[in-house]
Structure 1
Amino acid sequence: MSENINNPDAMENQEDSFTASLAQFDEFDDSTRTLGGADEKLNLLKDLQMNVYIELGRTQMQIKDILELERGYVIELEKLASEPVDVFVNNKKIAEGEVVVIDKHFGIRITSLVDPAQRIKDIY
């Protein structure tokens, strides 16, 4: 077959022996079109643990200032006390909230969620 590639006369003779036909495909079962298994897949993810952290604020410091940190030192953050804190899940911002105290423990009351379209965009 490889010797016919460079021979135009041999190619013309071979073209006559080829015939085209329509491709045949199996019919799809309706069960493959439904999302019936999606609930089961989502249930598998419900037990998955993810890292959640709250960012109170940020600042920049020189290395010499970091090396001088001692107990009782106060670090000023760029955010004001009245501003909402950011809630992150696996390094993606998902919400904002306010700090609350519950039985001597800190907590966060969610005040707004990031738009779902933005969350999906951040995944990619």
Structure 2
Amino acid sequence: AAPAPGPSHAPNPAAPYPPNSAPQYPPHPAAGMPPMTGYPPYVDYSHPQTLGGAPMNRNVNVQPVQFSNFQGGVPAHLDETNLGLLMDIPLKVTVELGRTKKQIKEILELSQGSIIELDKLAGEPVDILVNNKLIAKGEVVVIDENFGVRVTDIVSQWDRVQKLQ
């Protein structure tokens, strides 16, 4: 038996080549990708948006939050425990003899033996700073060939708060 003939396809005549058309190239690998401009893509917000497929205009049950009553106070032993957690945190303590301003030229001219004049007089109280905040004044003392500071005045909490503003 002879095999059944398959459907015959008539050859498709090729479309005529347009004489003035540009050559066709395969698409660039980045074709279809959004441009990389560093800006987020434009989003049209003129129509209602949906979140997770649910319309945004649905009714939502909103209630005010209710907090626990803290008027009972904190037991004293908890206060001491919490404060104890902070007692071993290191703080930077700085004693400032004085300040001055110099131009870059003057700084570059400094050499061994140069003297820098400060804005405070000899014997005037020095500033004691903790984490760059003034907390006290003091006087310079010498203890076994080392410098030290004797605290002469503690800056009041009111003064410290005023300097923050």
Normalising by the residue count of structure 1, what TM-score does the alignment of the two structures yield?
Answer: 0.70
CA distance in structure 2 between the partners assigned to 1:118 and 1:75 by the alignment:
30
Letter in 2 for 1:79: K
Backbone CA RMSD of aligned residues? 2.8
Q: 1:112 pairs with 135, 146, 153, which one?
A: 153
Tell me what 1:11 maps to: none
Larger helix percent: 1
Q: 1:34 pairs with 57, 60, 74, which one?
A: 74
Tell me what 1:22 maps to: none
Q: Which has the higher contact order (CA 8 A, sep 6+)?
A: 1
- Identity score, percent: 48
Say whether 1:92 aligns with 2:146. no
Shift of 1:120: 4.6
Deviation string 1:2-36 (CA, Å, 9 cap, x unpaired) is 79xxxxxxxxxxxxxxxxxxxxx98x698x52342
Say whether 1:51 aligns with 2:85. no
Given the superposition, is the C-alpha separation of residues 123 and 60 from structure 1 closer, same or farther in structure 2, using an over 3 Å criterion? closer
Given the superposition, is the C-alpha separation of residues 81 and 35 from structure 1 closer, same or farther in structure 2, using an over 3 Å criterion? farther
CA distance in structure 2 between the partners assigned to 1:115 and 1:29 by the alignment:
30
**SS at the partner of 1:38?**
helix
Unaligned runs of 5+ in 1: 4-24
The 10-residue stretch of structure 1 (81-90 or 33-42) with the greater mean CA deviation from structure 2: 33-42
Deviation string 1:53-85 (CA, Å, 9 cap, x unpaired) is 011001111111100100111100010012100
The 10-residue stretch of structure 1 (111-120 or 70-79) with the greater mean CA deviation from structure 2: 111-120
Q: Which has the larger radius of gyration?
A: 2
Shift of 1:119: 3.1
Unaligned runs of 5+ in 2: 1-56, 59-66
